[in-house]
Amino acid sequence: MSSTGRTRNRRGQGEQLRQQILDAATTLLSQSGDADAVGMRAVAAACGITPPSVYAHFANKADLLRAATAELFDQFDRALAAAESGATDPFDALARRAHAYVQFGDDNPGIYRALFANTVLGRPAVGDDRAHPGSASFRELVAAVVRCVAAGAVVDRPGETLAVELWAGLHGIVDLRATKPEVPWPPAGLLTDDALTHLGLRPPRTKQPR
Amino acid sequence: MSSTGRTRNRRGQGEQLRQQILDAATTLLSQSGDADAVGMRAVAAACGITPPSVYAHFANKADLLRAATAELFDQFDRALAAAESGATDPFDALARRAHAYVQFGDDNPGIYRALFANTVLGRPAVGDDRAHPGSASFRELVAAVVRCVAAGAVVDRPGETLAVELWAGLHGIVDLRATKPEVPWPPAGLLTDDALTHLGLRPPRTKQPR
DNA sequence: TGTACATCAGTGAACGCGCGTTCACTGATGTAC
DNA sequence: TGTACATCAGTGAACGCGCGTTCACTGATGTAC
């Protein structure tokens, strides 16, 4: 079974395997986008070990995939946070975050699906979302929108409402384009910019247009 | 096995079972929202027959669930078409259609998921979407938006672009609320109305506001 | 009017497969004496 | 400096289960003579 020639860890170094297993599960989950499609045998094989060895580090599949899902949430949150760095003002920051959101979904459809696929029906999803209510990224999005409102955005709704409307809009752009690729979609950037514009989350004009 | 006491069909009436099987599969699919979660054994049990009997009417599971998915698309399309009846003008018609879209998704999360869950990754989905490129409902939505533009809507994009933006918005509203129920969402009706308003798909004012 | 028979609607048992998980084990390695 | 031993990192085989699907069959029913 150890055909890959993996050298076993030295005594006391057994914990290293835990990270390898988690990494393998995270990678497989980010590829399939579906926790049900990630098998314990596949995770073990990716690490060059036999399936029972996984159970020395994770109690069961649900535990392992919960940890893997948390890992992917972190990746997502970090990507959006990084996108904001270098922004010149709250509007620029929000726009960067919104574009990064869609870009991340496009670039990592498996991860996006693992985090945001509608799995509430039936089984409560193996990677339990309740521990991540929309993930930290939602709180950050609300904060970014609120900063725009404070900076003088001309809006007709409270910041929290605008934030969920923007979130729903961005989610729709990412998810529906992934689901229905045969539809002739305008460029993602245009859709994202329009969402921001329509919600009024643009810098206010210093002077009124003539 | 025939413990339910189902009386077998008379000779020549065997085709009746086909419809029963299709109905059972459609019902189960509308409950789970996931074709993988619909089992041939469960379909057979719901009809009071044994699993092999299904194969007299459908070649395999993929065929059966493709037919069931088509059935659900029809239900969806009919619900939206029915909602438009009685509309007084194109704007009213579009608003009714948009609200019906969200309402249908809220009332029938399983059906909505079966039709619009992002299943493009990995396997090409057992109920093949390519036969229903966004379903007839997409064409109808585009047509409804175009009629609003023709009726004088004050918009900044072509009708087709507005239609996909509206569709993405409605999808985001339905799907994200279903996926993240723990977020404090504003009422669905408000989100839907805002989407229409922000896109300019409202009756133009006859006179300019003062 | 009666009967043999082809046909039809379905059954019952089993197949091979992949899954998550369990259990008894093995063999290398560091440590205590 | 050498050796016995506890411990640790994993292995190998198997379990029970549910799945889609196949195959040989059964028994009722309409029809032909």
Q: Which amino acid is at B24?
A: A
- pLDDT, tens digit only, all 210 positions of chain B: 544 568 999 988 889 999 999 999 999 999 999 999 999 999 999 999 999 999 999 999 999 999 999 999 999 999 999 999 999 999 999 999 999 999 999 999 999 999 998 775 544 444 444 555 557 889 999 999 999 999 999 999 999 999 999 999 999 999 999 999 889 999 999 999 999 999 999 998 765 544
> Cβ of A168 and B191 within 8 Å?
yes
- Cα(first)–Cα(last) distance of chain B, in Å? 77
CB B137 within 8 A of CB B170: no
Please report, rounded to whole angstroms, the spatial distance between the CA atom of protein residue B66 and the C1' atom of nucleotide C32: 69
Residue of B nearest to A169 (CA): B169
CB B32 within 8 A of CB B69: no
Closest-CA distance, B125 to chain A, in angstroms, reads 11
Q: How many residues does chain B have?
A: 210
- Residue B122 with chain A: CB contacts under 8 Å: 32-34, 37
Closest-CA distance, B94 to chain A, in angstroms, reads 18
The reply to whether B176 Cβ lies less than 7 angstroms from strand C is no
- Residue B171 with chain A: CB contacts under 8 Å: 172, 175-176
In angstroms, the CA A158 to CA A179 distance is 31
> Cβ of B118 and A179 within 8 Å?
yes
The answer, yes or no, to whether residue A73 has pLDDT greater than 60, is yes
Which of A34, A121, A176 shows the shortest C-beta gap to B167? A176
Helices (H), B3-134: 15-32, 40-47, 61-84, 90-107, 109-116
Which of A109, A129, A180 shows the shortest C-beta gap to B121? A109
**pLDDT at position B165:** 98
> Cβ of A117 and B164 within 8 Å?
no
